[in-house]
Amino acid sequence: MLKKVVITQPLPDKNLKGLVGRCDIAVLSGKQSLSSAQARDKLANCHGLICLLSDAIDHFVLDAMPKLEFVSSVSVGVDHIDVAILTERDIPLGHTPGVLAAATADAAFGLLLAAARRLVEGDRYIREGNWRPDNRWSADFFLGKDVSGTTLGIIGLGAIGQAMARRGAGFDMRLLSWTPSGRKVSGVDSVSLEELLSRSDFVSVHLALTGTTHDFLSADKIATMKPGAVLVNTARGGIVNELALAQALDSGHLYAAGLDVFESEPMAMDSPLLHHPRVVVVPHIGSATALTRAKMVELAVRNAKAGLDGRPMPHCVNPEVYPVFGAG
């Protein structure tokens, strides 16, 4: 009998062809919560789960799947999943690193430019009918912040952070980095976090959200950022203290921010960040290009196929679940 794989949201059929014939596939609508009665029925007999970053895979959901043998997330970040429980139960978790680095760094650099050069404010200005003959171009009209030749501080030098560094180099920026692993990359000055925050005109966050990085850019750390700096976050909202960021913008300590990710998503419409004209917000679209998403699904399917066959996944978050890992 074929094993059952539940996919939490519809994905393009062509990307799933690697699974057809190998398992029974059940697709949830993506609209209902995984803990709803309807979803729980479908989860009860499933051996494999393919999920997205908007699916909270907590112990309630995991307890509803007593036969679960693997989870494959179509995401690089796995903060939506209780990894500790999976590891405790010897269930491998696959994710999709690498393939979204270029698209996410493009989005981060786009946010940096948009925030510094007030591109969204300018767009709003025209659409709201303010660009009139009595309100036209002048020498100080819509002045923004210089980008080229300034200093870019990159927090987290994984694949996305490194891709961001290459984009900064193209804009003749001085590159500083701090990363928990201590990784060094040619052309990027590895400095202490304090030095990065105090020297950078632009700070871009590229860390994973974990227990130790939650609230990483706290009020205290934001207070030590260079006056007039711009913060860009395409990693996870929980890493930056949003209230402290809003206060630093309101007080004029920071110039602007470009944000793709938020502590809670969808973001609350009463967030103080939305009231600040120099905050550019987009709805977690860092990896949202057709090619990147196709590559992410392809990798998630490869991880799922390995899970079905009982082979090590090509990209496993908790490889310690494989006996060979412990033996090595």
Chain residues binding ligand DGY by CB under 6 A are 53, 75-77, 100, 286-287
How many CA atoms within 13 Å lie on the side-chain side of 208?
A: 17
Shortest distance, CB of residue 79 to ligand DGY, whole angstroms? 8
Closest CA to 313 of 103, 13, 97: 97
Distance, C-alpha 177 to centroid of its chain = 18
Task: State the minimum distance, in angstroms, from the CB of residue 100 to ligand DGY.
Answer: 6
Q: How far is the CB of 78 from ligand DGY (least distance, A)?
A: 8
d(CA 240, CA 253): 16
Which of 150/287 has CB closer to ligand DGY? 287
Tell me whether residue 93 or residue 147 sits nearer to ligand DGY (CB atom): 93
Question: How near is the Cβ of 9 to ligand DGY at its closest, in Å?
Answer: 14
The token duo for 298 is 């392809």
Compare residues 202 and 262 and give the one whose CB is closer to ligand DGY: 262
Which lies closer to ligand DGY via its Cβ, residue 53 or residue 249? 53
CA distance 178 to 85: 30
Which residues are marked as active site? 236, 265, 284
Residue 147 or 261 with smaller CB distance to ligand DGY? 261
Question: What gap in Å lies between CA 112 and CA 167, rounded to an integer?
Answer: 11
Task: Give the number of C-alpha atoms closer than 13 A to the C-alpha of residue 138, restricted to the C-beta side.
Answer: 8
Q: 104 vs 151, which CB is nearer to ligand DGY? A: 104
Q: Shortest distance, CB of residue 149 to ligand DGY, whole angstroms?
A: 30
Q: What single string gives the DSSP state of each residue in 245-295?
A: HHHHHHTTSEEEEEES--SSSSPPTT-GGGG-TTEEE-SS-TT-SHHHHHH
CA dihedral of 8, 13, 14, 18, whole degrees rounded to 10: 60
Least CB distance to ligand DGY at residue 266 (A): 15
3-class SS of residue 144: coil
User: Which token pair is 154?
Assistant: 């990159």
Cβ proximity of 236 and 186 under 8 Å: no
